[in-house]
Amino acid sequence: MMLSNLLRDFSNGAMLEAAVVEQASIGLLTHFGLTERFGWMAIKEQIETAAARRVYPGKTKGDVAIHWVDLANKGKLHIQVNAHGSLEISG
């Protein structure tokens, strides 16, 4: 995924937070091979939830999205499907 491009565009204000979250969600969905089971909105919802619950204090939705892309690129983000069929993301 193009973390450097996302980070640069977000930092420079060239990309709105909503667009960063969308692009990161699509990228993560593809990265983890979940495109047949889930839509990108499932990842977006998890990003929004993590930001709202302050899982990463001081991080906005865009920051969480970029952080997760970075973790995924490093092999440190984990996505699993729970017993209810929902995604659980940790890293």
The predicted model scores a pTM of 0.84
Q: Report CA-CA distances (Å) from 61 to 3, 15, 18, 21, 84.
A: 15, 13, 8, 7, 25
Q: Going residue by residue through the chain (91 aa), what tens digit of pLDDT does each one get?
A: 555 676 666 666 767 888 889 989 999 998 999 988 999 999 999 999 999 999 889 999 999 999 999 999 899 999 999 999 989 999 8
Total domains present in the chain: 1
Domain extent at residue 66: 3-90
pLDDT at 5: 72
